[in-house]
Structures are given as C-alpha cells and as structure tokens.
Amino acid sequence: MHSIKRSILLGAFIAAAAISSNSWAQAYPTKPVTIRVAFPAGGTADVFIRQILPRMQAELGQPLMVENLSGAGGAIGAVNVLKAPADGYVVAGHTNDVILTPLAMASAQYRPDQFRLAAALGLSDMLLVARPSMTAHTLAELVDYSKTLPNGLSLAHQGPGSSSQLAGDDMKAASGVKAAGIPYKGMAPLVQDLLGGHVDIGFIPLGMATVAMVQQKKLIAIGIAAAKRNPMLPDVPTLSEAHPERPVLHRQWIGLLVPRATPDAIVQRLNKAVTEAVLSPEFQKFASEGGVITLTMSAKESDDFYNAEIRKYGELARQTNLQPQ
C-alpha cells in the first residue's frame, strides 16, 4: 500500500513539474531581455547579434536590449551574466573565447561549463591581415621581414586565451614569423589600430566589413586560416598553402549563452527565437555577403556542440602547454 502511494505521489510530482515547466516556457518572457555582449560595440559579435534583434523581438514578443561589457578577453561580460538569476532575462552574447579565456587567464573567475549555449548564430574563418602600409604582402615575405626587426612584428589580439591570440601563436609556430603579442579589449579597437597603422598584423574574423576593407586596400590580407579559400576573397591564399604539412585552421563562432542552471524550457524558447532570426532572408543575405556560415541547431544540438568545443580546446591547451597566467 505504501509503495502504491509513493508511486502515485511521485507520478503526480513529475506531472506537476512538467506542467510547471511548460507553463514557464509559454509565459517567458514577460519583460524585456538583456543581451550582454562581452565585446565593444562595432565588433563582429556585436554587429551580428544586433542583426538578429528585430526577428528575435517579434518571436519573443518583448524588447531586447544590448549592453556591451568588454574587457579581459570577454571574461568581464561572462562573469556579469553568471551573477544574474538563471531565468533567461540576462543572456551572454559571446564567441568561442568564452571557452578559451579561462584556459589562459587565472583571473577569469569562471569555468566554461558554467554556461550553456542556447543558440549559435554563425561562424567565420579567421583572416590574417596587415596594416595598409606593410611592405610584406605574403606569408613568406612576412616571415623574412619580421626577422629584420629587432623585436619582430607587433601582433594584435583580443587578450590571453582569445581565438585571435591562439590563431596568432599557431601561425607563428607553423611559419616562423617573429612577432610579439599586443592585447586589445575587443575586435573593434584592434581593427581601428590596424587601419591606423599602429600595429602590424592581427587575426580578424572574415565578414562583410573585413572583405570591404581588404577590397578598398585599407588592410592587406595575408592569408585565411581555413582548409580552402573563401569565395568572397578568392585571390587570398590559405595560410596552409605555404605549409600544407602544418595546417593553420581557426574559426570563430558567435552565439547566445545562459547560465547552466537556466530551465530547459526557457533555453528552448530562446533557441527557437534565434533560429527564426537566423533563417530569415535578411540575416541569410547579411551573412552570405560577408562569407559567414550560418548555424541552426536545436537546443540539445547547441549544448552538444558547446560541450564538444570545451573538450576540443581543452585538448588544444594541453597540446600547446597553454597555462593560466
């Protein structure tokens, strides 16, 4: 008799929990949602996230506000989101740097597994560019030129553990380029200093603005960190063409993340809203013009993808002996 009662009570509890979860998902959101982008305004992540806002707002039925909290390789914005309630009203706008930064910065104060990827927007290849006055226009020329400088070239990146730093270190190891890293708080100020000739080289995500700057000769494209050339810049070689035995392959993805404790029903609601926005003709056109690959994954697929990325970068950190500083 007691066993039967316990079974009935357990079944009632499970049913009530399911109803509560569904009701929560149907009600969410009942107020504006804030997306805290971990990089400065005008950077690639910021521009992409703002591009999906109209469709997301229409899908969710509530205003979406963007706040830029940059610094420390995106750690400041990440920690800020983790301090907020896990209720879907404060969301992180980030890149794969959310995984890389804690691997290189002891002061990051968070672990990548404290987040869950609600949805990814897209990914882009990393492009090695040089200031417009650079005399070296190929990777081989860059290697030779760097060795004539006492301190080598200045290599801009977004801080310790960022995808741009990792790509830079990998490129140096593969090619023999002599360069010293210069950290920036985000992609926007990094690009501005490249345009102004204040720094020699750097890796930036391939996108619409990047393509335009290369075509207008405001930046010199040295090579793409991809397996094949990008159709948007067909004359720009891959970095691996010079060293096929030692490929240099790096991409950056952009997505919306929430604290791991966020209810699954809310994550699925966010995922659906992002998917609708990414699949819209406007966003597809925006992405394709910049050579960006859009991503549409379910909530579970997004979580699986994110967990696989954590494992991948953890292994890469071990292989390169990357230690938190």
Are 114 and 260 within one domain?
yes
**Sequential DSSP letters for 200-266:** SEEEEE--HHHHHHHHTTSSEEEEESSSS--TTSTTSPBGGGT-TTS----EEEEEEEEETTS-HHH
CA atoms within 13 A on the CB side of 196: 8
pLDDT band at residue 287, thresholds of 50, 70 and 90? confident
pLDDT-derived band at 43, boundaries 50, 70, 90: confident
Q: Is 26 exposed, middle or buried (0-12, 13-18, 19+ CB in 10 A)?
A: exposed
- Cα–Cα distance, 132 to 143 (Å, whole number): 17
Measured distance CA(158)–CA(189) in Å, rounded:
9
CATH number, domain containing residue 194: 3.40.190.10
What is the reported pLDDT for 84?
Answer: 97
Q: What is the pLDDT of residues 95-106, one digit of tens each?
A: 999 999 999 888
7 inside domain: no
Q: Are residues 99 and 119 in the same domain?
A: yes
Whether residue 271 is contained in a domain is answered as yes
Residue at which a domain ends, from 200, 216, 241:
241
- Tokens read off for 50: 């703002």
pLDDT > 80? residue 161: no
Shared-domain flag, residues 67 and 42: yes
pTM of the model: 0.77
11 is a domain residue:
no
Task: Say if residue 136 is in the same domain as residue 232.
Answer: yes
130 and 237 belong to one structural domain: yes
pLDDT at residue 204, rounded to an integer: 94
Examine the domain organization and report whether 227 and 304 are in the same domain. Answer: no
**Which range marks the domain in which residue 266 is found?**
30-123+253-319
- Considering the domain boundaries, does residue 4 fall inside one? no
Q: What percent of the chain has pLDDT over 90?
A: 66
Instruction: State residue 15's pLDDT score.
Output: 45
Residues 202 and 55 in one domain: no
Window from 48-52, 207-211, 251-255 with minimum mean pLDDT: 207-211
Are 197 and 263 contained in the same domain?
no
Arithmetic mean of pLDDT over the chain: 89
Q: Which of 241, 271, 299 is the last residue of a domain?
A: 241
Q: Do residues 144 and 193 both lie within one domain?
A: yes
Indicate the pairing of strand 90-95 with strand 33-37.
parallel
Show the tokens assigned to 301.
């697929």
pLDDT in tens, 214-233: 999 999 999 999 999 988 89
pLDDT digit string (tens) for 7-40?
Answer: 444 454 444 444 444 554 568 999 999 999 999 8
Q: Domain holding 286: CATH number?
A: 3.40.190.150
The number of distinct structural domains making up the chain is: 2
Q: Is the pLDDT of residue 178 over 90?
A: yes
Statement to judge: residues 146 and 204 lie in one domain: yes
Summarised one tens digit per residue, pLDDT across range 300-317 is 999 999 999 999 888 878
Whether 22 is covered by a domain: the verdict is: no
CA 108 to CA 97: how far, in whole Å?
11
**End residue of a domain, out of 194, 212, 241:** 241
Domain assignment present for 325: no
Say yes or no: 95 and 161 in one domain.
Answer: no
- Helix residue ranges, H only, the chain: 2-27, 44-60, 75-83, 97-104, 139-146, 163-175, 187-195, 208-215, 264-279, 281-289, 299-319
pLDDT at 159: 81
Residues 177, 152: Cα–Cα separation, whole Å: 8
Answer whether residue 112 is part of any domain. yes
Is 96 among the domain residues? yes
Domain shared by 258 and 119, yes or no: yes
pLDDT at residue 5 in the model = 46
What pLDDT is attached to residue 26?
A: 64
